[in-house]
A = this chain, B = another copy of it.
Amino acid sequence: MNSNFERNNIAELEGYVSGEQRNDPDLIKLNTNENAYPASPQTQQALETINIEDLRRYPQPTSDNFRRAAAALHQIDPSNIIATRGGDELLRLLLTTFVDPGAAVGMTDLTYSLYPILTRIQDAHPFAVALTNDWKLPLNFTEQINAESCQLTFVVNPHAPTGTLTSAADLIKISNNINGLLVIDEAYVDFVEDPDHDLSRFAANSRNVVLLRSLSKGYGLAGLRFGYGVGPQHLIEPMLRKTRDSYNLDAISQALATAAIQDQVYAKENWKRVNAHREELVKELTKMGFDCIPSQANFVLATVPDASATSAEAIYHALRTENLLVRYFPDERISNKLRITVGRPEEQARLLALLAPILGISAA
């Protein structure tokens, strides 16, 4: 304990810095992978039926209505589901419940930057396996993880921040051979085009797999903070009954999240539309000389043309001056790239119109 009472592992930690959240109606925000469109009209209807009097009492402690709806969606049992305050809460609960201080936690390099921070909060240590040059898991991934005795391993799929997809078959093989837990963070999985890419029933019946799902991206509800985990009962139950804060989800978000996942017709239309915009964005960026990593998420990691005199960082700043945000990461492996969230057509048109003069290309 240092003089400020902080534990040593916390004192040494730098906190997570989220993407810029500026509140400005004129801002075009393509920096934090929010859905281009709002949640379904049925969610709006659910919101309108809520009254302040409904909030006087405690909410359902374990979000059972939502869990039943999610179970029906995935054709599994509610006991295979835990509802959480965004995916972040699930990540934390997994570490709290299954990872001892001092243990190793597996992940890839690059990956979602929150994983090593949450690992250090648990006083465990991150073990990062380098991705291949084309951002895939290396063939000996499992062997490296097992050699380090990782109690738990995070794989984000589709991968962030590149958008690349590892196949369900490859992940099943990894889970069968890995000694610890495998957490597959599917925050972006709704944008995967292959309708057969579905690991939920596999996870529910697995020995060691928990899937993370989020309503932030696929359902246009980043402001609601709602996610869920899918896994076998022996992994879900300890988080649901023991380590979860006793009332982790408020009554309003439970009602809205349930309405959102029950309107699959709207959701699937949304994903199709966002994916069509993604293809359009990639096509136009490619025309301008950007190299776009094939993405199955609602963002694109685009490499600035070699010939460009303007660096990714300078482009980021130039766009920001024009009230358009994209994400720039200083990490040297991607410091020549920009991560661009798929936006509405008019937002993407504005981006492309701004990029042309910055790169010194005449607009089409």
Contacts and interface: CB of A to CB of B under 8 A. Distances in A.
Interface of A: 1, 4-7, 10-11, 13-16, 18-19, 21, 23, 29, 32, 34-35, 37-39, 41, 43-44, 47, 50-61, 85-86, 88-89, 92, 96-101, 114, 117, 121, 123, 151, 180-181, 208, 216, 220-226, 234-235, 238, 241-243, 245-253, 256
Contacts of A225: 59, 247-250
A258 to B, nearest CB: 14
Given A44-B51, A55-B223, A247-B18, A123 B98 contact: no
Nearest to A91: B245
Contact of A58 (B4, B18, B100, B242): B18
B99 A7 contact: yes
Contacts of A223: 54-59, 250-252
Contacts of A19: 58
Contacts of A55: 38-39, 220-224, 256
Q: Tell me which of A29, A34, A97, A151 has the highest count of chain B C-beta atoms within 10 A of its own C-beta.
A: A97
A226 B85 CA distance: 13
B88 A10 contact: no
A101 B307 CA distance: 54
A206 to B, nearest CB: 12
B56 A220 contact: yes
B6 A97 contact: yes
A157 to B, nearest CB: 20
Contacts of A248: 85, 225
Contacts of A100: 1, 7
Interface residues of A: mostly helix, strand, loop or mixed? loop
Contacts of A226: 250
Assembly of this chain: how many copies?
2
Contacts of A58: 18-19, 21, 32, 34, 216, 222-223
B56 A52 contact: no
Contacts of A18: 58, 61, 246-247
B242 A15 contact: yes
A332 to B, nearest CB: 24
A193 to B, nearest CB: 22
A246 B10 contact: no
A56 B44 contact: no
A-B pairs, 8 with minimum CB distance: A55-B223, A223-B251, A15-B242, A15-B241, A225-B250, A44-B52, A38-B53, A88-B245
Contacts of A241: 15
Contact of A234 (B4, B29, B52): B4
Contact of A222 (B39, B57, B252): B57
Given A38-B52, A220-B55, A225-B247, A60 B242 contact: no
Contact of A5 (B61, B235, B242): B235
A50 B53 contact: no
A165 to B, nearest CB: 24
Contact of A253 (B4, B41, B252): B252
